[in-house]
Amino acid sequence: MKVPAQSGLYRLLPSVDELLQQKELAPLTESEGRAAVIAAARTVLADLRSEIGQGTLDEQKVTLAVDSIADAIVRRLRTDLAYSLLTVINATGVILHTNLGRAPLSEAALQHAREVSTTYSNLEFDLDAGERGKRDVHVNRLFARLLNSAQREVSTVVVNNNAAAVMLALNSLAEGGEVIVSRGELVEIGGSFRVPDVMKKSQAILREVGTTNRTRIADYEQAITERTRLLLRVHRSNFQIVGFTEAPALEELVALGNAHGIPVMEDLGSGALFDLQHVGVAHEPTIADSLRAGVDVVTYSGDKLLGGPQAGVISGRKDLVAKIRSNPMFRALRVDKMIYAALESTLLSYAREDFDAVPALRMMRIPAEQLRTRAEALAQGLQHASSRYSVSVLPAESAIGGGSAPGATLPSFALALTFDGMSAHELTDALRRAETPIIARVGDGRVLLDLRTVFPEQDAIVLQALVRLAQQ
């Protein structure tokens, strides 16, 4: 058969107008919008033109492609109009996984956010006075309740994330002046949060003291000048310094600050309201511990150990928090009503001591034995369904994550799998592409599914996805 000139092949392609008349596509211009259907049709036509241009298609192939062009356009449209942000199943055992959205929100938090966001709300309206109010009040009262101690009254403001909180606090309290930090705390949290860079951007001057492993209170004292505005402590969220180490206690830093009239700020990072000692993790300070030690201002994330929405929280001395609140940068960093609603709801769970209502805390508190039982049930179901899997239940270690308690783990159990005809890495790839993507780890040549971070109602979905893979 003689292949016509390429220009002849282009003529076989229908026009966008002709395509829109086709019976498969005409109704879609109603349901999905004309613009979206036209865009999908143009993409499919452009792909075909490019293939013709490359000389990869003969007349017969072009004719076949044109015959099924409506299907191709419908598929394209479905992809174009599908969500990109999806629910995934976290089988990594890392509870606060930054790549997977950190803390899952509670049903109550979401319901409250839905209620106040789908209608109007009193976000900045004082219902008693009938005049303009401040959005801060909705959570300030709860933070005060959870953090106030006998000696001091705590004020709180909320911004977009903890990076913003640190930046805003430094700029408000130390712009143009010096901030003293130990060299052992000049950390990088990841995603470009580096203490020296944040300091520079906030227009404060970093004054580093001590060494990587040892900093004494005298090092801070010797660095104090009339330019000093702040003593800063930064939580080592993602690493530990062990061996020949020294750092002054928070109380010593506070005493030094008091003696010189210089406030002490602590970037807690994770910021626990719930004492992790209850789940066997020692040495993770709570927000209240820091305030009780006399720290003037603490900053922390809303979606790490707190278990709420993404936010940065600044709590501390009333006058300093008021100064931070009056910084014009606050307006650029403030958060939306949905965040206030989710945060308010999360804090109410703490006020009620209903820790299981906060999903991240619930996951930390699940006894390992419960996870073993679930893993064994899954293992049995899978062995029943397919002989292509070799399945066992192994002890595992879940991590809290989110820069809290580095190195601390919780005992857990994992479903360990190998699959006939696929390597462990191929199997994790396939699980990631499941209808509800499942994110798993590989260890010792096996795929490991740690059930601590899998919601119990997701066990059935995991089983179904694994069985489906075996049937392909």
Ligand X SMILES: *Cc1c(COP(=O)(O)O)cnc(C)c1O
- Give the closest residue to 225 by CA, choosing from 262, 196, 200, 185: 262
Q: Contacting ligand X (CB under 6 A), which of 90, 156, 172, 301?
A: 301
Q: How far is the CB of 166 from ligand X (least distance, A)?
A: 6
- Give the closest residue to 90 by CA, choosing from 469, 462, 470: 462
Q: How many other CB atoms sit within 10 Å of the CB of residue 239?
A: 11
Q: Is 193 in the site for ligand X (CB under 6 A)?
A: yes
Number of residues that make up the chain: 472
Q: Contacting ligand X (CB under 6 A), which of 94, 104, 403, 412?
A: 403
Q: Is 235 in the site for ligand X (CB under 6 A)?
A: yes
Of 4-12, 54-62, 200-208, 231-239, which part binds ligand X (CB under 6 A)?
A: 231-239
Residue that the structure tokens 């209850």 belong to: 278
One-letter amino acid at 15 equals S
Residue that the structure tokens 């996870």 belong to: 371
Q: Quick one: 161 or 172, whose CB is closer to ligand X? A: 161
Q: Quick one: 96 or 180, whose CB is closer to ligand X? A: 96
Q: How far is the CB of 304 from ligand X (least distance, A)?
A: 6
**Residue-by-residue DSSP string for 309-328:** SS-EEEEEEHHHHHHHHTST
Q: Contacting ligand X (CB under 6 A), which of 163, 204, 276, 297?
A: 163
Q: How far apart are CA 402 and CA 237, in angstroms?
A: 8
* Residue nearest to ligand X as judged by C-beta position: 269
* Dihedral sign computed on CA atoms, order 119, 124, 127, 130: negative
Residue that the structure tokens 């299981």 belong to: 356
Q: Is 286 in the site for ligand X (CB under 6 A)?
A: no
Q: How far is the CB of 197 from ligand X (least distance, A)?
A: 12
Which parts of 302-361 interact with ligand X (CB under 6 A)? 312
Q: Contacting ligand X (CB under 6 A), which of 178, 219, 267, 284?
A: 267
Give yes or no for a contact between 219 and 210, defined as CB atoms under 8 angstroms apart. yes
N- to C-terminal Cα separation, the chain: 39
Residue that the structure tokens 């330019």 belong to: 227
Q: Is 237 in the site for ligand X (CB under 6 A)?
A: yes
| Site residue total, ligand X (CB under 6 A) | 15
Q: How far is the CB of 403 from ligand X (least distance, A)?
A: 3
Q: How far is CA 269 from CA 128, 146, 152, 166, 459, in A?
A: 36, 18, 22, 9, 32
Q: Is 161 in the site for ligand X (CB under 6 A)?
A: yes
Q: Is 284 in the site for ligand X (CB under 6 A)?
A: no
Q: Which helix (H) or strand (E) holds 94?
A: strand 94-96
Taking the CA atoms of the chain, what radius of gyration do you get in angstroms?
28
Q: How far is the CB of 404 from ligand X (least distance, A)?
A: 7
- Find the helix packing angle between 337-351 and 107-117, rounded to 10°: 140
Of 67-75, 162-170, 251-259, 415-423, which part binds ligand X (CB under 6 A)?
A: 162-170
Q: Is 269 in the site for ligand X (CB under 6 A)?
A: yes
Q: Quick one: 13 or 166, whose CB is closer to ligand X? A: 166
Q: Quick one: 191 or 261, whose CB is closer to ligand X? A: 191
Q: Is 270 in the site for ligand X (CB under 6 A)?
A: yes
Of 74-82, 117-125, 223-231, 266-274, which part binds ligand X (CB under 6 A)?
A: 266-274
- Give the closest residue to 335 by CA, choosing from 310, 358, 355: 310
Of 58-66, 107-115, 230-238, 339-347, which part binds ligand X (CB under 6 A)?
A: 230-238
Q: How far is CA 215 from the centre of its chain?
A: 32
Which residues of the chain form contacts with ligand X (CB under 6 A)?
A: 161-163, 166, 189, 193, 234-235, 237, 267, 269-270, 301, 312, 403
